[in-house]
Amino acid sequence: MKKNMKNIISTLPLLLIAITWCQASFALGADQPNIVVFMADDMGYADTGFTGSTDIETPNLDSLAASGMTCTNGYVTHPYCGPSRAGLLSGRYQHRFGFETNPAYDLSNPYMGIDPAEMLFPARLQKAGYRTGVIGKWHLGGAPPFHPLNRGFDYFYGFLGGGHDYFRIDLTQPVKEGYLQALERSGRPADFEGYLTTALSNDAAEFVHRNQAEPFFLYVSYNAPHAPQQAPKEAIARYSHIKDQKRRTYAAMVDVMDAGIGKVLTALDENGLRENTLVFFLSDNGGPQPTKQQPGKWNGSTNTPFRGGKGNLYDGGVHVPFVVSWPKRITAGTKFEHPVISLDIAATAVSVAQVPTKWNGKKLLEGKDLTSVLSGEQTAPPHDYLYWRDGEGSRWSILSADRYKHLQDKPGSPKELLYLPDDAGETNDLAATSPDKVSLLRSQWEKWNGANTPNRMQGYKAYHKHRDQFFLDAIPGKATKEGYSPEPEPTFK
């Protein structure tokens, strides 16, 4: 009996710690907001009502902006899809772990995706009791090490590649980048009816209804208005006033996405969750624009007043529509003029969820917690500098808090210095007259770049070329694009 009492007494401190921890966890959970991130794909900066569009209607996005804060100088970490999304979900510059190009769609390649050592911020939320879901485009690798269900998400409905046909699945066609492959719902093949964007939005609304009793994180990762340019006929008909056919279809794609965002926001309202839900909206990069080399590159978007588009380090490629809404904490209709970046979403999310920014030795997040900005307590710039890199440094850019920008957009092109408050179109190069500023910004960029790693993936086009050649080389006989001529059967004497 004495021995048993001794054991009980010796365990009392541990029991008290456990009870205290459980009580603290319950208290935290009671005030943890839900978090929703809407991400558009290849959307032009000026293609919402709140950023100046007059020919495309976005009533739900405009309402979202009116309910919260518009970050007029919101940026992403890369001028195209996969790396930008890697930065968003890791909360760290993707250059730190060698994710600097779009991964090829290859379900069998255990190296073509986001480094498994990186802890994505939804995994941090998951550990704090959040129910986590991603709906739509993944684009961070197709093999099991990169799968959403292995990277911090409890639920996944969508596709693993970088895009998808909006109306059909056809498994009889070549796989290529997976645009006609089946969708997936949490590890099982899935279909969709009607128009893909609407199907994704409906599923996102259902996620809200199913999980309204517990804190959740929902990442609604649209592929709209990314190519292929497809929209329902009735939606296209609503934009008959737009003469250019490509712009008309693009407008319809944005319109349907906006309607879908409205469905998710309505689901929050119907469950009494809107007041304490932190909602972000942004695009993964700017809209593609035509060039002399690629006149057909345009998807119908406009990035006015910015220069360039998807693929450029000018603002047209990385300066995106950026809205934050949280009725419980953010004064409606406010604006924040200082630069913020998609990295800040992770830092803000783990802060409001009351999750440690460093977990089990995993590296610190690199964004800034914007909670004091959102409440109006902080009016100073949250960042001293923002950074970009592509081609392992052959293209680079840096933006200071006072919005001086130093960049080289293409290998061998001039190293420009621009002052964005007076030059949103980035046409007035000040490098020759401000050598001290040039030197300061370049040295600061090099300091940041010193912590980066080489790109760990081959670009998807080059990858497919090498993979195709591998299979051609493996075929006996003469391989051709039309087929192959097998070697003659051996004869034995």
Instruction: Give the model confidence (pLDDT) of 8-34 as tens digits.
Output: 444 444 433 333 333 333 234 458 999
* pLDDT tops 80 at residue 360: no
Segment 95-120 shows an average pLDDT of 96
pLDDT band with cut points at 50, 70 and 90 for residue 293: confident
What per-residue confidence (pLDDT) applies to 435?
98
What per-residue confidence (pLDDT) applies to 2?
45
What per-residue confidence (pLDDT) applies to 477?
67
More confident residue, 11 or 283: 283
* pLDDT tops 90 at residue 197: yes
* pLDDT tops 70 at residue 7: no
What per-residue confidence (pLDDT) applies to 482?
56
Residue 78 known to be catalytic: no
pLDDT band with cut points at 50, 70 and 90 for residue 472: confident
Segment 81-96 shows an average pLDDT of 98
Model-level pTM?
Answer: 0.91
* pLDDT tops 80 at residue 357: no
What per-residue confidence (pLDDT) applies to 486?
52
pLDDT band with cut points at 50, 70 and 90 for residue 459: confident
- Strands 183-185 vs 484-485: parallel, antiparallel or unpaired: unpaired
Calculate what percentage of the chain has a pLDDT beyond 90: 83
Residue 164 known to be catalytic: no
pLDDT band with cut points at 50, 70 and 90 for residue 355: confident
Alpha carbon of 279 to those of 100, 305, 374: distances in Å? 27, 26, 12
* pLDDT tops 50 at residue 5: no
- Summarize pLDDT for 207-239 with one digit per residue, the tens: 999 999 999 999 999 999 999 999 999 999 999
What per-residue confidence (pLDDT) applies to 31?
82
* pLDDT tops 60 at residue 306: yes
* pLDDT tops 50 at residue 269: yes
pLDDT band with cut points at 50, 70 and 90 for residue 6: very low
pLDDT band with cut points at 50, 70 and 90 for residue 473: confident
Active-site residue (options: 78, 95, 139, 406): 139
Segment 46-71 shows an average pLDDT of 98
Residues contacting residue 3 through CB under 8 Å, at least 6 positions apart: none
Active-site residue (options: 78, 81, 147, 226): 81
Mean pLDDT rounded to a whole number for the chain: 91
**Lowest model confidence (mean pLDDT) among 25-34, 276-285, 341-350, 412-421:** 25-34
Q: Which fold has domain 32-383?
A: Alkaline Phosphatase, subunit A (3.40.720)
Segment 416-444 shows an average pLDDT of 98
What per-residue confidence (pLDDT) applies to 319?
98
What per-residue confidence (pLDDT) applies to 468?
87
Calculate what percentage of the chain has a pLDDT beyond 70: 89
Segment 302-321 shows an average pLDDT of 98
